[in-house]
Amino acid sequence: MSIITFVCAGQMNSAITFPAFENGHEIRLVGSPLDRDIIERLRKDNYHSTLKRTLHDGIRYYQIEELQEALQGADLILGGVSSFGLDWFCDEILPVLPEDVPLLTVTKGMVDLEDGTLIPYPTVFAERQPAGKHINFNAIGGPCTSYELADHDDSHVAFCGKDMETLKKIKKMLATEYYHISLSTDVVGVECAVAMKNAYALGVSLAVGLAEKRDGKTGAVHYNSQAALFGQGVKEMMQLLALIGGGPENIIHGAGDLYVTVFGGRTRKIGTLLGRGLTFAQAMEELQGVTLESIVIATRTARAVRKLAARGVVSLEDYPLLMHVDEIINQGAEVCIPWEKFTTTVSSGRC
């Protein structure tokens, strides 16, 4: 049995306690400053108020002030901060984490640098750890919703990091008959693939709102348009993967994550509202209080591509869906899918 400390009690981090606990490990779940009510409720009856699931009896719960106690003797640490808590995690948590314990993060995202380079969060964490410190950073990518993992639905994800032996040990700790884990040392490829899907999930979701607007009823669905946007999204994601030096095999994690994101969650909501005809400001007002990582990732990715285009590295014409999403959320453009820009003429020379 190992001791696994989960830092932050968000939905995904908390969902992973299911396979971890069922593998016989001692589980310690620490709430962030924003998770106080979640931890207090868990202490009463193991019910997670945002995941809306009852966690296993026997898990130990801690408030953030008790972090040091929760870290004592840990064999693995899982970080579950969202993109919006990135600075807090870097400034407050990384300095107190032990170097000899691997860190596995569920945070999906990437940052664009001044020259247009896109780097994944594990790289950001490594760069922002205290001088002289060498934490063993690892991360999770792939299509997996928290509530379905908690319900034991078969899920396939990728664990990535620089050291394969570490990844194998972590997989042994967490893999179950329903939680299937691939391993990769291509951190950039895995993490950027699953991060950029947020921008394209918003793009695909525009078709949902357009269908509702066309038919005049909520829930109207036209699969042809969704499928076309999905295909274009995967195409542009593959181009971005090649651009950042990620292995092409990682598209399975990004495409799978794109699929599951389109079928539910906050990104689908914002895309649907925009497709119905709401302006970005109106849609955000309707979703007031909801954090949208898709907006952050779409903005960063498009900004990076525009910088690279200005340098002559890429052509904006190769990213019509991404550019349109950016125009909608950052330039006030109306939804008008550039369908003809998706079409191609290919002469393969083969019979």
Return the minimum-mean-pLDDT range out of 133-147, 207-221, 227-241.
207-221
Q: What is the pLDDT of residues 249-283, one digit of tens each?
A: 999 999 999 999 998 778 899 999 999 999 999 99
Q: Do 268 and 139 sit in the same domain of this protein?
A: no
What is residue 264's predicted lDDT score, i.e. its pLDDT?
Answer: 75
CA-based nearest residue to 48, from 82, 74, 14: 14
pTM of the full structure: 0.92
22 and 166 share a domain?
yes
Residue that terminates a domain, selected from 134, 152, 185: 185
Find the distance separating the first CA and the last CA of the chain, reported in whole Å.
Answer: 59
Phi, psi of 163 (to 5 degrees): -115, 115
Query: Which pLDDT score is estimated for 289?
Result: 60
Torsion of CA 205, 210, 216, 219, to 10 degrees: -20
Which of 185, 209, 230 marks a domain boundary?
185
Q: Are residues 214 and 87 in the same domain?
A: no
Q: What is the pLDDT of residue 287?
A: 86
Q: Report the percentage of the chain scoring pLDDT > 90.
A: 88
Q: Which two tokens stand for residue 48?
A: 């997670």
Over residues 146-162, the mean pLDDT reads 97
Q: For residue 141, tell me if it sits in a domain.
A: yes
Task: Say yes or no: 179 and 216 in one domain.
Answer: no
CATH of the domain at 223: 1.10.1040.10
Residue 333 and residue 310 share a domain: yes
User: Do residues 288 and 324 share a domain?
Assistant: yes
Find where tokens 């992973």 sit. Answer: 16
**Cβ atoms of residues 274 and 280 within 8 Å:** yes
CATH code of the domain in which 83 resides: 3.40.50.720
Q: Is 347 a member of any domain? A: no
Spatial CA neighbour of 117 closest among 302, 317, 308, 340: 308
Q: Is residue 37 part of a domain?
A: yes
Same-domain pairing of 171 and 209: no
* Mean pLDDT, range 108-117, rounded to an integer: 92
Q: Are residues 240 and 278 in the same domain?
A: yes
Domain that holds residue 225: 193-342
Same domain, 324 and 283: yes
- Asked if residue 34 has pLDDT above 90, the reply is yes
Q: Is residue 350 part of a domain?
A: no
Q: Is 351 a member of any domain? A: no
Percent of the chain with pLDDT over 70: 98
Question: Is 176 a domain residue?
Answer: yes
Residue 50 within a domain: yes
Query: Domain check: are 108 and 253 in the same one?
Result: no
- Across the chain, what does the average pLDDT equal? 94
Strand residues in the chain grouped as ranges (E): 3-7, 26-30, 47-48, 53-54, 60-62, 76-79, 103-105, 110-112, 118-120, 137-141, 155-161, 179-184
The count of structural domains within the chain is 2
Q: What's the rounded Cα separation, in Å, for the pair 286 and 292? A: 13
Question: Do residue 20 and residue 158 come from a single domain?
Answer: yes
DSSP-derived 3-state class of residue 34:
helix
Are 35 and 175 contained in the same domain? yes
Q: Domain for residue 260, yes or no?
A: yes
Last residue of a domain, one of 185, 212, 231: 185
